[in-house]
Every structure is written in C-alpha cells, then in structure tokens.
Chain A
Amino acid sequence: MIHFAVQNSWLIPLMPAIAFAIIVFFLRRTPQASAFFSISCISVSFLLSLGVVAGVLMDPAAVESSVTWFSMPGLTVEMGTLIDPISGMMVFVVSLIALLVQIYSVGYMENDPGYSIYFAYQSLFAMSMLGLVIANNFVQMFVFWELVGLCSYLLIGFWFYKISAREAAKKAFVTNRVGDYGFLLGILFLQIIFGTLNFTDLAQIIPTYANVGLLTVIALLVFTGPIGKSGQFPLHVWLPDAMEGPTPVSALIHAATMVVAGVYLIARAFFLFAAVPTALQVIAYVGGFTALFAATIAITQNDIKRILAYSTLSQLGYMVMALGVGGLTASMFHLMTHAFFKALLFLGAGSVIHALQGKQDIWEMGGLARKMPITTKTFIIGSLALAGIFPLAGFWSKDEILLAAQSNGFTGLYLIGSLVAFLTAFYMFRLVFVAFYGQAKPNNDPHESPAVMTTPLIILGLLSVVGGLVGMPWLSTNFGSYVYFGEAHHGYSLMIMVTSTVIALMGIYLAYLMYYKKTISASAIANRFKAIYTLLYNKYYIDEIYQWGINHIVDGAGRVAYWIDLHVVDGVVNGLAKGTRQSGTILRYLQTGQTQHYGMVLVAAVVVIILLLGLLDPSLGISAWGGGN
C-alpha cells in the first residue's frame, strides 16, 4: 500500500480530476451526489497521501517518475512526480485541508444554487494544487500554478452576480499574472541556459554554473512568481479582496494551500536561490517587510475575513523571510502549522458568518462565546496558535523562524519578526475580544453550526495544538530531520522562545486592556495618531495607487494606441484610398471624349512600341520579322 502510493503518486491529483469531470458532465443536477462524489475522491487522495507520507518517513530518498508531455529537438517538456519529504508533507497538508474544507462546505454551502459546480471547482482546485506539489519540473509547476490561479479566479467569483466578487476575481488573476510573467521569464532563462527544467537535474547543474550575476537575475525573476501568488509586497493587493469568495474557499485556497504555493516553489527551487546570496537577501527583506506591512494593516481592519487575510499575508511574509534567511526547515514547518491554524480560523470565521447570515464586520458581532461554544473554543485555539503561545503549533514554527533569522545574522529581521509577533497577537485578540466577548447585538440570533461544520473545526483545532510537536527541537528525529536543504540542523535558543512568548502575551494583554477591559481607549489612540491610523486603515493607499495607474497609464496607453490606430495607421490606409480616388478625379480629365485624341495616342503608342522593339533591341527587331516562315 505504501509502496503503491509512493510509486503511483500521480493518482493523487487524478482522483479529484475525475471528480471534476464527472460532476461537470453528469452530476450537475444532483447536488448531493456531486458533494458525495467529490468528497469520496478527495478522501481517496488523502489516503494515498497518507501512504506517501508513511513512505517518505520510512525512506526519505526522492522518488521520481515522469512521462513526456511533448517534445522536439531542444525542448522536452515532461509531466512527472517527485516525492520527497517536502512534497510528501505538502501532499498531506493539501489533501487533508481540502478534505476537511469540502466536508465543511457541505454545511456551509447548503441551499446554494451553485452547489454542484462549487464542488466541481473544489475538485478542480484539489487536482491542480496536488499536481503542483508533486511536480518534478518547472513547466509542470507553472501549468498547475496557473490552474490554481484559475480555480482561485473561479471560486473568488463564485457569486458572480456580486460586482465586488467579479472585480476581486479579476484583480486576483491579473495580479497573479504579473507575477507569473516574471516566473515564466525565469523558466525560459533556465530552459535556454541549462536545457532542462527538471528539479533534480537543475539541482545538479546550477551549483556549478559560474555566471552568478545572471543566476541572480533568474532567481529574482522566479521569485516574482511567489511575490504574486503568495501575496508579497507589492503584489499583495489581491489577497484581501479575494475574501469575496465563499469562506471555505478562503480557508482552503487563500489561507492554507494555494497562497503557500509561492513559498513551496522557493523551497522546491531552493538550489537555485541558495546559489545566489543576493537574491536570498532580497527575498528575506521582501518577506520581512511584507510581514510587518500586513500586520500593521491588520490591526485597523474591521472585517473579520480581511483581518484574517492580512494576517495570512503577514504569515506568508514570515515564511518567505524564513526562506530568505536560509531556514528552509523553519519555513516549511511554519507552512504546515499555519495551514492548520489558519484554515481553522477561516472555517471558524465562516461558522460565525454563517450563523450571522453573512455579517462580517466584527463590531456587529459580539457575545458569540456563549451561543457558539465550539466555534469560540476552536477559534481561540487557532488564535493562540497563530500568536505563538507555548505549546501550540505556531509557537514551534515561529520560534524556528526567529531562530533562523537570528542565528544567520539577520538581526534586523529578527527584530521585525518579533515586532510582527507582537502585532499578530494583538490583532488576533482584538478580533477575539470584540467578536466573541463584546457586547451582544440585539438583532443577531447566532446559533452553533451543524456537526458537519464543527467536526472539521475540532480536527483542525487538535492539529493546531499538537501539530507543532513534530518539530520540537528536543526530539532526536523531528520535522527538520526530513525537510531540510543542505544539512539538517537541530538547535534551539531558550532566550528566543521565552522572549517571543512574552512578546505575544504582551500583545494579548494589550488587546485585553483595550477591547475587553476598555481601560485604554482604542478610539483615543486612533484620534491621537489620526494620520497613521488613516494611512493604515486605507492600506497605505496601495490599491488606489494601482487603480490610478491602471486607469491612467495602462488604459491611457490603450487610448493613445487606439487613437494612433484610428488616425495614423488607418489614417494612412484611408488616406491612400482617398488619394487614389482623388488622383482618379484629376486624371479623369485626360479622358477628353475626343475620339481623335484617343486615336492619336494610339498611333503614338504604336510608333513608340515599334521604335522600342525595332530600334533599341535589334534582336527582336524589324529584320526578324522577315520571311514569314
């Protein structure tokens, strides 16, 4: 079974693909059947992925297989599978979360007219994401990379009759495309220079390649893909808007799996980045900046999903930063734990939104703790995990990141990371205190969600508690023994552990004072720092700047080009036509209507032709006419 799963890992993405096809073609009118079928298929994938994980744990050596997708002299594009600890971990996380989210969706999407097609999209997404993580080469990665982007587009715009959803979906796709542009260029460079896009082959060749400058360019180009997909600054703008989609979608795609594809890509291609320290530094600072940037925005937002979205951005920044400072293990570890608790938080938020018939503003909530005990408990577990409180999952992984930053000499980033930890704890508990413990609103009638929704919450809650233990530094064989680049190393620093926990607790305490006890007035602080508050509340006006750029620069270029097309290019064409007509108007006066003029022209022409033929070219000349035969 384990051997079978490892050898035939292509079946893992295939199952949801079958589900997608069957639902689209046969089960569109039977919602229950499509949900059942979709969940069955993803369950099979999950079981197979368990087999894969077991196989990897037994033998961490990479297992690769591939078929040719198309080929020609000088270019061979393959589709294949590469199973090693990193992809094994990803397969497990993705199929697990996908399974839980699909189960949750049965309850959440109840009575939605697009129920069947929702599950079709979910299956398509699962297929694409699983295909992405087991990819053994860049093209396959790119193919599924784009496909998850498509699924994201479709699912953000799932309620397409909402203008906001439509715009958000478009924004997500286009922003990602900008990143993909760079990614594609990077792939092309690799193909041209090395003639292969296979990860294993490239890992062999690249360290021996001498032109570091070019390699840096390539690495940065490839990095633009993750900037788009994982919402790093400056292409982060799509992720908060993506919350227009159904909440389970946000949990699955925009928190736990798709957005970490960028991080995963960097990890997968770490051999490329490891060869160019400059690129790694850029990555580290971009990640660190994004983490801080998003966290500062999160503290002023009021929409429950947007807070979580900015939190996701911030955590993604964390992971990217971890990669940048060389902590591949830390990054992947955080990726996994983050998937657990962020999915949990989103599903919890979904449960709240479901209970409140679509309200998302945290100030319209309040007093949910008594009405929705399971949701509240799991949500708090998730928040604590995110804040990094011992011994929950987030604590271990965040600690690893901070340790990596500090021990590799990035003190600045270490400080930023600590600050972000503080902010994270603060905004999460701001959310918790306001939404769950605040004044209950009279016109709300919340009630606990059905079991089909709470069960995934409980499972994820458990994972958020214990999921981090696999990475405990004191274990002799832990997460880092499998997932690493170069050499595995085990180390820990009690100082960092203690400080980060203290910082997180401070954040929670501050939130407690401001939003539970209300001993510190939040609005007073907001008024005191009006300018900063407005800036943060409006997300640094990045969206407005981009919108202005699109409206004026891009569309402006379009208008200019169209003007040129109509008046210059077509102007020349129509001008030629007009010129032809006008020259006709003038030249027609040569037609005098006088037969004798025509006759004289005719005779003159005869004379000229005789002269030309007979005198200028003697070989065709008059003398040759003779004889008759």
Chain B
Amino acid sequence: MDFITNPGFPYLSVILLTPLVGALALIFVPREEVWTIKAIAAVSTLVSLILSVLIFLAYDQTIGGMQFKEDILWIKDLGVSYSLGVDGISLPLLLLTNLIGFSAVYASWNNKDRVKEFFILLLILITGVMGTFVTRDLFIFLLFYEVVVIPIYIMVIIWGSTKRVTKEYAGMKLTIYLLIGSAFLLAGMIALYVNAYQLTGVRTMDIESLMLVPFTEHFQIIGFLLLGIGFCTLISMWPFHSWSPDGYAGAPTAVSMIHAGVLKKIGGYGLIRIGLFVLPAGAKFWAPLIAVLAVGNVVYAAVICLVQKDLKYVVGYSSVSHMGYVLIGIAALNVISINGAIAQMFAHGVMAALFFAMIGNLYEKSHTRNIPDFGGLANQVPRLAVGFMLAGLASLGLPGLASFPAEFTIFVGAFGVYQVFTIIAISGIIFTAVYILRMLGNVLFGPRQQQWDKLTDLKGPEWVPLIVLGTVLVTFGIFPYLLMDPINTGVTSLFARTGLSTVIGGGF
C-alpha cells in the first residue's frame, strides 16, 4: 500500500471530482448513445469506488486523525479554504457513498427516459454527497449540501413515480424540508463563525479549528439547537420525518438509494462532527430530548411499517425507525454509542440501498409496489428474492450481517445512559422482525401466481447492486472489526481532543 500513501497525490480530490468529470463528459455525448452514457457513468463511479476502497485500506489507523489532507485557500477574507481530509468517521461514509453511487448507476441501467440528463444529475448528486463527507471546511460542507438538493428535486419531478402522493408533491416536500433544514444549518453555522471570530479574532471555517474555540455554554445551547434542527431534519428525526417515506416513494430508484443510503447520513455525520464535537456542552444539554424523540422514531415508525401496503413506504418508514437507533447512539454521548451510531449509518446505508435497488427492479418489471398484489415471487425470481431476503435480514439486525455489530454497540453504549429509553427502543427489534418478515413473506413466498410468470429475474448489469452491496453486508457482518476499528480511531481521538468523558456513565 505504499504507493497510495504517497502524500503528494490528491486522492480525495480525484475521488470527489471524477463523477463530476464524468458528468461534464456526458454533456458532450449525443443523447442517442445510450450505451456510452451508461458506460461513462459506470466507469467514473467505479474509479471513485476503487480509489475509496484503496483509501479505506490504506488509512493508517495507528496514527488516526485526518489523513489524505489537501488544502487550497479559497476565500481569504472569510477564512474559507477547499480543505479535504478523511478520518475514521468520514472514511466509512465515503466508502458507503461510492458503493451506493456505483450500485445506483447499475440500478438505473434500464432507465429509458432522458438517459443523458438522468446520469448527469446522478453524477452531480454523488459528487455533492461525497463532498460533504470529505471536506474539513464548514462552508464547503454547506456548499456541497446545497449542491445535493437541486438534482434530487429535478430527478424526483421528472423520473419519479406517483402512487399515494404525486411525484410533484413528493419532490416538493423533500426539497422544501431539506431546504428548511439547510436554512437552520446556515444560521447555525454563521452563528458559529461569527462567535468564533469574536472569541478568537481569527476568521476560520475550519471545523477542527472551531473545535478548539471556547464557546460559552449559553451560546453552545443555542447554536446546537439551530444545527440540531437542521441535521435532525436531515436524518428524519420525529417529528421532522414525514418527508422521508413520501420522498422515497416518489423518487426514482437511484435517488431513493442515494437518499436513504447516504444523504440521510449527512444528518448524523454533521450532528456528530459539528454538533457534538464543536459544541459539546450544547450536545449535552439537548441530548435527553434527542433520546426521547429517537425512541419515538424507533417505535413509532416501526409500528407504522406494520400497516403499510407499499414496498417503498415500508422501507421508508423502516429507515426512519433505524435512524432512531443512530440518534439514540448519538444522544448517549459516549465512545461506544457513537461508534455504534456511525457503524449503523454505514450498515443501514448499504441495506437500505440494496432494498431500494431490489424494489426498483421489481417495480420496473411489474409496475406495482403494492404488497397485496404480489405473492410467491420466489418461485419466479429467486435471485431477486435473495436480494430482498438479504436486505430484509440486515434490516432486522441479523448477526452475520453488518447491522448487528452496529446495533449491538449502540445498545451497549446507550444502555448505560438511558436505561428506560433504550429498553423501549430495543423493543423495536421485535416490530422490525414482524414487518420485515410480513413483507418478505407476502411478497416472496406463498403459492405461485400466474400473473407474475412474465417477470424476468436479475441478469447482467442488474446483478451489480446485489453483488456489491450484498458482499459488503456479509463481509462487514462476519468481520466487523474491519469497520469498527477505523471508526473507533476517529471517534476516540476526537473524544480525547474535546475532553468529553469517554466512559459510559453507569446508572447502577
């Protein structure tokens, strides 16, 4: 791995900008050249994926901290610089983005409508999401976040599907929610910036520098509230969650995958990196509230899943429910729970993306997502059924798949802090099992139905999402230390620097 640790080469910029370059290249491809368009999209995401896997492996855990740093001063007067870097927290999420981005290209392989525009927007979307994870600068973070919102709106409006709600409604809801969230974020970040300037006299947007600023507790509480509303909207905390099921239901497959898989995680990521580590006292103040609402997330959304009829709504609400675990992990404010929260974000990302890819594939062929319409599909499409099963089992936290170590870690971390909340939240595993198995059973199992004999099974490029995401789920499930160790280096070193207590508070 020596060649990759070469400090001069801007790996992160290459990873970040390759999809963008792909998008630019696509502009010059004639729209009839559908195959070329897809190939360019696939290749550019593949390059990013390979590089990010290499970086994931080459990241030096013994040193920890930010690595593969790049710095270019951008706006001197504001203290904004194009500074990139990854640590144990962002590394898995970067990998996740590229895994899902690559799979999303293949999940959209059969798209026939305005292919060129679709892939251009998709690549921009992937770049935007990735940017939020690799940047070390608050301003750039927000910039990339805003970059994300617009393609999503356009993609939902044009390529979305209308079921319970129209795609226009879904797109509008999604976008407005995200923009309201980002408005709070903007306010919070400006407050941070201005306050830091007043305290230190240095104009900086650098997150690590902001971590060292001694904000007053009063300011931290207000600042965390602003940032918290922004990020919690993004991670779909109750009661700011209702964009999520409707949005996913309306969005095209690739957008659902990226949105549920990674975009949502920006909320958790920001909450941890900016909310928690820059404003620890604020986090401590608001954590109990977050914990309560997180419990609401877990149980409430899981219970709602029980009565859903649309596949995408089930997965949509289920992702709300799973984000509750992430939130409770964050709220518990200790190394273990936050390790678990990040791992859960990763695991849930892979699982949700796989789910949406499979649902998208099924919907493309059957033109319905209504669960009662299906039944016995394992007879006709066994490979698709494998994908559904894998995603479903990961969703209910089966050991051997990536989500179990994550959930277990969250539970351990949170249990020492909020016994009652955690006990209630863990009951979510029962409801999850009920709705997932009910869904899988009703869709995949049961007597063969003649009307679905025409369905074709996964073949060719359609395999890719299942293989890529399934492999990841199993690999990180059997060898969780591959995921846990980098995360732990990131979280532990940050905890050490902010002086938050790392032990779990024993209530006994």
Chain A residues with a Cβ under 8 A of chain B? 68-75, 77, 139, 142-144, 146-147, 150, 153, 157, 160-163, 165-167, 169-170, 173-174, 177-178, 180-181, 184-185, 188-189, 191-193, 211, 214, 550, 554-555, 557-559, 561-562, 565, 569-570, 572-573, 577
- The answer on a CB contact under 8 Å between A147 and B441 is no
Q: How far is the CB of A72 from chain B (nearest CB, A)?
A: 4
Complex: how many Å from CA A555 to CA B431? Answer: 10
Interface residue tally for chain B (C-beta within 8 Å): 65
Q: Does B376 lie at the interface of the complex (its beta carbon under 8 Å from any beta carbon of A)? A: yes
- The answer on a CB contact under 8 Å between A167 and B441 is yes
Q: Given the interface contacts A192-B412, A561-B303, does A174 sit within 8 Å of B430 by beta carbon? A: yes
| Among B28-36, B208-216, B401-409, B450-458, the stretch in contact with A | B401-409
Flag B302-344 by CB within 8 Å of A: 1 or 0 each.
0111111000000000000000000000000011100100000
Q: Given the interface contacts A150-B393, A174-B430, does A166 sit within 8 Å of B307 by beta carbon? A: no
- Contacts A73-B488, A75-B336, A565-B242 given; 16 further ones with Cβ under 8 A? A69-B480, A74-B335, A75-B413, A143-B399, A160-B446, A161-B447, A162-B447, A166-B441, A166-B446, A177-B396, A181-B427, A191-B415, A214-B508, A557-B303, A561-B303, A577-B176
Q: How far is the CB of A199 from chain B (nearest CB, A)?
A: 18
- Enumerate chain B residues within 8 angstroms of A146, measured Cβ to Cβ: 398-400, 404
- The answer on a CB contact under 8 Å between B434 and A71 is no
9 residue pairs A–B, Cβ–Cβ below 8 Å = A70-B484, A143-B400, A157-B445, A161-B447, A170-B438, A173-B433, A188-B422, A214-B508, A565-B304
Contact of A178 among B308, B430, B438, B480 (CB under 8 A): B430
Q: How far is the CB of A584 from chain B (nearest CB, A)?
A: 15
Complex: how many Å from CA A583 to CA B57? Answer: 55
Q: Given the interface contacts A139-B408, A147-B399, A192-B504, does A181 sit within 8 Å of B445 by beta carbon? A: no
Contact of A166 among B305, B429, B445, B492 (CB under 8 A): B445
- The answer on a CB contact under 8 Å between A73 and B409 is no
- Enumerate chain B residues within 8 angstroms of A173, measured Cβ to Cβ: 433, 437
Q: How far is the CB of B179 from chain A (nearest CB, A)?
A: 13
- Enumerate chain A residues within 8 angstroms of B488, measured Cβ to Cβ: 71-73
CB neighbors of A among B452-483 (8 A): 480-481, 483
Complex: how many Å from CA A69 to CA B484? Answer: 10
Complex: how many Å from CA A144 to CA B409? Answer: 17
- Enumerate chain B residues within 8 angstroms of A75, measured Cβ to Cβ: 336, 409, 412-413
Q: How far is the CB of A303 from chain B (nearest CB, A)?
A: 22
Complex: how many Å from CA A174 to CA B431? Answer: 9
- The answer on a CB contact under 8 Å between B508 and A193 is yes
Flag B422-436 by CB within 8 Å of A: 1 or 0 each.
110011011101100
CB neighbors of A among B137-177 (8 A): 173, 176
- Enumerate chain A residues within 8 angstroms of B484, measured Cβ to Cβ: 70-72
Complex: how many Å from CA A557 to CA B303? Answer: 7
Complex: how many Å from CA A60 to CA B446? Answer: 50
Q: How far is the CB of B84 from chain A (nearest CB, A)?
A: 26
Q: Given the interface contacts A170-B441, A178-B430, does A188 sit within 8 Å of B412 by beta carbon? A: yes
Complex: how many Å from CA A405 to CA B471? Answer: 51
Q: How far is the CB of B311 from chain A (nearest CB, A)?
A: 16
Q: Does B300 lie at the interface of the complex (its beta carbon under 8 Å from any beta carbon of A)? A: yes
- The answer on a CB contact under 8 Å between A191 and B412 is yes
Complex: how many Å from CA A573 to CA B173? Answer: 9
- Enumerate chain B residues within 8 angstroms of A557, measured Cβ to Cβ: 303, 306
Q: Given the interface contacts A143-B399, A188-B412, A558-B304, does A70 sit within 8 Å of B405 by beta carbon? A: yes
- Enumerate chain A residues within 8 angstroms of B508, measured Cβ to Cβ: 192-193, 211, 214
Q: How far is the CB of B429 from chain A (nearest CB, A)?
A: 6
Q: Does B71 lie at the interface of the complex (its beta carbon under 8 Å from any beta carbon of A)? A: no
- The answer on a CB contact under 8 Å between B399 and A177 is no
Q: How far is the CB of A119 from chain B (nearest CB, A)?
A: 16
Among A139, A162, A166, A185: residue with most chain B CB under 10 A:
A166
- The answer on a CB contact under 8 Å between B429 and A180 is yes
Complex: how many Å from CA A146 to CA B401? Answer: 11
Q: How far is the CB of A413 from chain B (nearest CB, A)?
A: 31
Q: Does B203 lie at the interface of the complex (its beta carbon under 8 Å from any beta carbon of A)? A: no
- Enumerate chain A residues within 8 angstroms of B119, measured Cβ to Cβ: none
The residue on B at minimum CB distance from A161 is: B447
Complex: how many Å from CA A144 to CA B335? Answer: 26
Q: Does B239 lie at the interface of the complex (its beta carbon under 8 Å from any beta carbon of A)? A: yes
The residue on B at minimum CB distance from A197 is: B412
Q: Does B448 lie at the interface of the complex (its beta carbon under 8 Å from any beta carbon of A)? A: yes
CB neighbors of A among B350-399 (8 A): 376, 378-379, 393, 396, 398-399
Complex: how many Å from CA A211 to CA B396? Answer: 34
- Enumerate chain B residues within 8 angstroms of A143, measured Cβ to Cβ: 399-400, 404
Complex: how many Å from CA A146 to CA B393? Answer: 11
Contact of A177 among B376, B430, B483 (CB under 8 A): B430
- The answer on a CB contact under 8 Å between A77 and B405 is yes
Q: Given the interface contacts A160-B444, A169-B441, A558-B307, does A174 sit within 8 Å of B398 by beta carbon? A: no
Complex: how many Å from CA A161 to CA B375? Answer: 9
- Enumerate chain A residues within 8 angstroms of B305, measured Cβ to Cβ: 558
Complex: how many Å from CA A51 to CA B55? Answer: 45
Q: Given the interface contacts A70-B481, A177-B430, does A554 sit within 8 Å of B306 by beta carbon? A: yes
Among B300, B335, B444: residue with most chain A CB under 10 A:
B300
- Enumerate chain A residues within 8 angstroms of B416, measured Cβ to Cβ: 192
Complex: how many Å from CA A191 to CA B410? Answer: 13
- Enumerate chain A residues within 8 angstroms of B241, measured Cβ to Cβ: 569
Complex: how many Å from CA A72 to CA B73? Answer: 36
- Enumerate chain A residues within 8 angstroms of B393, measured Cβ to Cβ: 150
Q: Given the interface contacts A77-B405, A147-B399, does A570 sit within 8 Å of B242 by beta carbon? A: yes
Nearest first, the 7 closest Cβ-Cβ pairs linking A and B are A558-B306, A143-B399, A70-B484, A160-B445, A558-B307, A166-B445, A70-B481
- Enumerate chain A residues within 8 angstroms of B447, measured Cβ to Cβ: 161-163
Q: Does B110 lie at the interface of the complex (its beta carbon under 8 Å from any beta carbon of A)? A: no
- Enumerate chain A residues within 8 angstroms of B480, measured Cβ to Cβ: 69-70, 77
- Enumerate chain A residues within 8 angstroms of B242, measured Cβ to Cβ: 565, 569-570, 573
Complex: how many Å from CA A160 to CA B429? Answer: 24
Complex: how many Å from CA A573 to CA B243? Answer: 9
Q: Does B506 lie at the interface of the complex (its beta carbon under 8 Å from any beta carbon of A)? A: yes
Q: How far is the CB of B325 from chain A (nearest CB, A)?
A: 13
Q: Does B78 lie at the interface of the complex (its beta carbon under 8 Å from any beta carbon of A)? A: no
- The answer on a CB contact under 8 Å between A163 and B430 is no
- The answer on a CB contact under 8 Å between A562 and B399 is no
The residue on A at minimum CB distance from B386 is: A24
- The answer on a CB contact under 8 Å between B398 and A188 is no
The residue on B at minimum CB distance from A550 is: B434
Q: Does B411 lie at the interface of the complex (its beta carbon under 8 Å from any beta carbon of A)? A: yes
Complex: how many Å from CA A569 to CA B241? Answer: 9
Complex: how many Å from CA A540 to CA B492? Answer: 55
- The answer on a CB contact under 8 Å between A161 and B379 is yes
- The answer on a CB contact under 8 Å between A555 and B429 is no
- Enumerate chain A residues within 8 angstroms of B415, measured Cβ to Cβ: 188-189, 191-192
Q: How far is the CB of B233 from chain A (nearest CB, A)?
A: 11
- The answer on a CB contact under 8 Å between B399 and A73 is no
The residue on A at minimum CB distance from B307 is: A558
- Enumerate chain B residues within 8 angstroms of A555, measured Cβ to Cβ: 306-307
Contact of B433 among A70, A71, A177 (CB under 8 A): A177
- Enumerate chain B residues within 8 angstroms of A169, measured Cβ to Cβ: 437, 441, 445
- The answer on a CB contact under 8 Å between B398 and A72 is no
Q: How far is the CB of A257 from chain B (nearest CB, A)?
A: 18
Q: How far is the CB of B172 from chain A (nearest CB, A)?
A: 9
Contact of A73 among B335, B408, B411, B506 (CB under 8 A): B335
- The answer on a CB contact under 8 Å between B376 and A174 is no
The residue on A at minimum CB distance from B442 is: A166
